């Protein structure tokens, strides 16, 4: 898929900007704080319906305004889609596809698939489990909208259960109903996560071996709060997940009531990373952790292609300067020959020699884009 153009109004530091994109390589050059990452973020937002930098949509609206509008045209092999998201202060966001309104973002997401690689990706390893769950949810949701449907209902039921656990009048029959609903939606989430994870582990491990300094074996483990042995977890059916989750919720009920929170389910799961069977989060060097993060992002591209038969759009937010090894740069840049790539940098001249193609080049200065090639 290819992003043909982007139109932004009252978005971050852009009053109004329209820019066209090359189907191959696009570069936004500018000093820090001028808006080049904002342009990249807008494309991510048009694909995911969320920012990678803030959870508060109203922060995307230009200061002094009450509404922001983002539009793009996405070219697929079969047909084109014009996407639009409008963010309004104190109202929320609305989405359109080919001028038709979409009430559910889960139905909107997937029409523009993106993979973002940024300097903050080290937090995938070093950060909280919530970041790694979000990583899974975004990537699975882009290619399987039904996953987002079940995820939304699971989270809604989870909030209801947690509120109920905090009340002083516990009706166990109502807890039974909530546990059943959590099990139905949670089992679907677990099934899709495990399917995605198995491919992710295989592809990322293979990529890591290609770019690691030493012969190290990367292994990723899905750490389930259900505490099921890996040999069984990775082969469970949706019905087995549903039964295991319901049974687990029943067993944890007294503890959940005591702690006033749901202590088991996919919302408590995590990804663990091992290098030669040692915890990479604890014992891995920053270079090793960066290589793992790079391997994960490259694996995402291949997995999204496997699931949708189209390559996603690759967004590189000033990351090439973070890679001090030519093998890492060359592997990443070899991927740019397969996919539409949009990158930001403070200096194009320092990167130009790595690319075989001439880019569509934009200079960014105080929210103003100037085409330079």
Residue 370 marked in a binding site: no
Query: β-strands 2-11, 67-75: how paired?
Result: antiparallel
Residue 240 marked in a binding site: no
Residue 360 marked in a binding site: no
CA separation (Å) from 349 to 34, 155, 345, 359? 18, 47, 10, 12
**What's the residue count for the chain?**
373
Nearest Cα residue to 115 out of 54, 200, 35, 186:
200
3-state secondary structure of 88: strand
Nearest Cα residue to 24 out of 360, 372, 362:
360
Residue 265 marked in a binding site: no
Both tokens assigned to 332 = 């990443």
Residue 306 marked in a binding site: no
CA separation (Å) from 128 to 124, 133, 135, 272, 287? 8, 9, 11, 11, 20
Both tokens assigned to 191 = 């099934």
Run of H or E including 95: strand 92-97
Residue 26 marked in a binding site: no
Residue 141 marked in a binding site: no
Q: Is the dihedral of CA 236, 240, 242, 246 positive or negative?
A: negative
Residue 33 marked in a binding site: yes
| Binding-site residues for ATP | 30-37
| Binding-site residues | 30-37
């Amino acid at each position: 898929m290819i992003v043909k153009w982007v139109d932004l109004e009252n978005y971050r530091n852009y009053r109004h900007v329209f820019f066209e994109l090359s189907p191959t390589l696009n570069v936004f050059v500018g000093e820090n704080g001028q808006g080049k990452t904002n342009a990249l973020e807008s494309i991510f937002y048009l694909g995911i319906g969320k920012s990678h930098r803030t959870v508060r949509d109203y922060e995307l609206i230009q200061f002094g305004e009450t509404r922001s509008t983002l539009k793009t045209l996405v070219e697929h092999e079969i047909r084109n889609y014009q996407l639009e998201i409008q963010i309004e202060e104190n109202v929320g966001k609305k989405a359109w596809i080919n001028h038709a309104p979409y009430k559910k973002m889960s139905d909107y997401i997937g029409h523009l698939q993106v993979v973002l690689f940024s300097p903050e990706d080290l937090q995938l390893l070093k950060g909280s489990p919530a970041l790694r769950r979000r990583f899974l949810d975004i990537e699975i949701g882009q290619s399987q909208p039904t996953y987002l449907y079940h995820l939304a209902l699971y989270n809604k039921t989870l909030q209801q259960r947690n509120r109920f656990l905090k009340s002083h009048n516990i009706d166990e029959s109502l807890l039974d109903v909530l546990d059943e609903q959590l099990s139905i939606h949670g089992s679907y989430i677990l099934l899709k996560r495990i399917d995605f994870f198995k491919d992710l582990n295989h592809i990322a491990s293979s990529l890591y071996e290609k770019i690691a300094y030493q012969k190290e074996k990367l292994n990723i483990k899905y750490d389930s709060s259900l505490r099921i042995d890996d040999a069984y977890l990775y082969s469970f059916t949706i019905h087995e997940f549903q039964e295991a989750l319901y049974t687990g919720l029943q067993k944890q009920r007294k503890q959940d009531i005591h702690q006033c929170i749901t202590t088991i389910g996919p919302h408590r799961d995590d990804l663990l990373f091992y290098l030669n069977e040692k915890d990479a989060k604890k014992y891995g060097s920053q270079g090793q952790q960066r290589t793992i993060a790079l391997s994960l992002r490259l694996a995402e591209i291949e997995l999204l292609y496997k699931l949708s038969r189209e390559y996603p759009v690759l967004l590189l937010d000033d990351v090439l300067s973070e890679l001090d090894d030519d093998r890492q740069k060359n592997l990443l840049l070899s991927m740019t020959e397969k996919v539409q790539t949009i990158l930001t940098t403070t200096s194009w001249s320092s990167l130009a020699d790595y690319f075989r193609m001439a880019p569509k080049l934009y200079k960014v200065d105080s929210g103003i884009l100037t085409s330079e090639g």
